[in-house]
Amino acid sequence: MLLVEADGKALLRQYGIPVPAGEVVRDAAWSAPSAARVVKAQVTVGGRGKAGGVALCRNAAETQAALARILGSRIKGHAVHACLVEAPATGRECYLSILLDAGAGALRVTFFAEGGVEVESHALDATTSRLCAPDEASINAALAALTDDAAVRDVGAKLAKLFLAEELMLAEINPLFVGGAHAVAGAESHAVAGAESHAVAGDAKLVLDGNALHRQPGQEALLRANATLYPDALRKLDEGFDYVELDARGSIGLITTGAGLSMMLVDELTARGAHPINFLDIRTGQLRGSPARLIRVLEWLSEHPSLRVLFVNIFAGITDQREFAKLLAEALAAQPCGGVPVVARLVGNGSEEARAWLAAARPDIAIFEDLEPSIARVAEHAI
Ligand code: GDP
Ligand code: MN
C-alpha cells in the first residue's frame, strides 16, 4: 500500500535521506510563516500536482489560501484531511526509483536526469533503467551505471538500504531536487561528505508490502498513527482477512471468499453498471464455526446508507456449505443491515443441502446455484 508523502518522508529521513523541512497541517486557520512554502495534499494517490493538490506559495497569504482551498477538498476521489507544508526545494528535478519488478523476477533501478510530473513520457531503456539482484551492492552498481552524480548515488545507497530493510515494493523519489540550495530537515546530520552537489527528496512514494507488515513493527506503528488514511491495511492486520472498500457510495455489499473469484465478481458487476461497495476475501476456512467474521463484515457494510442488496457468493470445494449457511443465518440475524434483500449463491461441498436448509430457515433470501441468474437478481436490486 502507498504511504502518504509525509509518512514516506519520515521513513526517508530515518535512513538519512535529506527531505525539506516541513510540517503536517490539518487546520486551515494555521498561522503560515511569511516565507515561501509548498502546500501538498496528503492523500494515498499519485499525480497530485496535475490534480491541483500541490501549490507553490510565495507568502503567508498564498499559503493560507492554498490550505483553505486544498484542505477538505477531494483529490482524485480522496478526501484531503491534512497537508504537508514545506520550505520549497530548488534544483534540477530528477527521478529516482527502486521497484520490485515481479514480472522480471528482479529489482528495477531507474534514474532520469529530468523528472517531474511528465515523467510517464520517459522511455525505460539502458540509459535510464537497470534490472538487478535484491542486494545493496547490486542496486548501487545499477545506479552507478545510470548516473555519476555523487549526491544522487548517496541518496540511492540510502534508498537501497531502506528498500531492502523495509521490504518495499516501490520506493520512488520524484522530484529528487539536485544541485540547489535547500532548508533541509535535520540538515546537520545528513551532510554528504565530499559531494559536490546536493540532493533533497521533493516527494516520496513508498509502497509497502501488506504481506510483510507482521515483520515490520515500525511500519505498523506508522500506519496506526494515521489510522484513517490506511483503513484497509489496518483491517487486514487486526482481522486477518482482506476487505477493501471500493466505493463508499456503492449499492452492493459482497460476502465472498477467494481473492480471484471475488475480483472476478467485482468485474462482472461493474461491467453491468452495478457498484459494489467492497472487495472481500473472508477465507471461509478460517471461520471455524463462528459467525464473528461475517458479523464484522455486515457491520461495516451497514454503515453505508447507499447499501441496497447483499450478495453472498461462496464457491468452495472444501468449506462445508451446510456449516456456512448456518453461520450466514446467524450473522444476518445479528446484523440484518437494515433488512436489505439478500441474494445467495452457494456452490460446492454440501451445497445442495445447504441451499435447502437456508431456503427453509430464511425464505426471504433469493438462493441460486448458478452465477448468471444470481447476478441478474442482484442487478435488479442494485441499479
Ligand atoms: P505528485 O504530483 O503527487 O507526484 O506530487 P509532487 O510532490 O511530485 O509535486 C508535483 C510537482 O510540484 C513536482 O514535480 C514539482 O514540479 C512541484 N514541486 C513540488 N515540491 C516542490 C518544491 O519544493 N519546489 C519546487 N520548485 N517545486 C515543487
Ligand atoms: Mn511526485
Residue 231 is assigned to a structural domain of this protein: no
Are 248 and 371 members of one domain? yes
- What is this structure's pTM? 0.82
- In this predicted structure, what is the pLDDT of residue 273? 94
Are 282 and 372 members of one domain? yes
Are 322 and 377 members of one domain? yes
Residue 376 is assigned to a structural domain of this protein: yes
**pLDDT tens by residue, 268-307:** 999 999 999 999 999 998 999 999 999 999 999 999 999 9
Are 249 and 376 members of one domain? yes
C-beta of 8 in contact with ligand 1 (< 6 A): no
Are 285 and 366 members of one domain? yes
Average pLDDT of the segment spanning 45-59: 96
CATH number of the CATH domain containing 134: 3.30.470.20
Are 139 and 183 members of one domain? yes
Are 258 and 352 members of one domain? yes
Measured between alpha carbons, how far is 329 from 321 in angstroms, rounded to an integer? 12
Question: Which of residues 173, 196, 212 is at a domain's end?
Answer: 212
Is residue 115 predicted with pLDDT exceeding 50?
A: yes
Give residue 121's pLDDT band: very low, low, confident or very high (50, 70, 90): confident
Grid cell 482477512 in the structure block, residue: 241
Residue 10 is assigned to a structural domain of this protein: no
- In this predicted structure, what is the pLDDT of residue 343? 98
Are 79 and 110 members of one domain? no
Are 138 and 59 members of one domain? no
- In this predicted structure, what is the pLDDT of residue 187? 54
Residue 289 is assigned to a structural domain of this protein: yes
**Cα separation values, 139 from 11, 19, 113, 204, 278, Å:** 19, 21, 18, 19, 38
Are 127 and 201 members of one domain? yes
Are 335 and 250 members of one domain? yes
Percentage of the chain exceeding pLDDT 70: 95
**pLDDT tens by residue, 175-213:** 999 986 655 666 544 444 444 568 999 999 999 998 899
**pLDDT tens by residue, 3-19:** 999 999 999 999 999 99
Domain that holds residue 270: 240-382
Residue nearest to atom 26 of ligand 1 (CA): 90
What DSSP assignment string belongs to 320-362?
-HHHHHHHHHHHHHH--GGG--EEEEEEETTHHHHHHHHHHH-
Residue 364 is assigned to a structural domain of this protein: yes
- In this predicted structure, what is the pLDDT of residue 378? 97
Contact present, 40 and 83 (Cβ < 8 Å): yes
Beta bridge partners of 244: 279
Q: What angle do CA 64, 70, 75 make, to 5 degrees?
A: 165
Give residue 337's pLDDT band: very low, low, confident or very high (50, 70, 90): very high
- In this predicted structure, what is the pLDDT of residue 77? 85
Number of domains the chain is built from: 3
- The pick from 9, 42, 45, 54 for probing ligand 1's pocket by mutation, whose C-beta has the most ligand atoms within 8 angstroms, reads 54
Residue 377 is assigned to a structural domain of this protein: yes
**pLDDT tens by residue, 212-230:** 998 999 999 999 999 989 9
C-beta of 87 in contact with ligand 1 (< 6 A): no
Residue 17 is assigned to a structural domain of this protein: no
**pLDDT tens by residue, 73-109:** 999 988 999 999 999 999 999 999 999 999 999 999 9
Which helix or strand (DSSP H or E) is residue 74 part of? Answer: strand 74-75
CATH number of the CATH domain containing 77: 3.30.1490.20
Residue 27 is assigned to a structural domain of this protein: yes
C-beta of 48 in contact with ligand 1 (< 6 A): yes
Average pLDDT of the segment spanning 41-59: 96
C-beta of 203 in contact with ligand 1 (< 6 A): yes
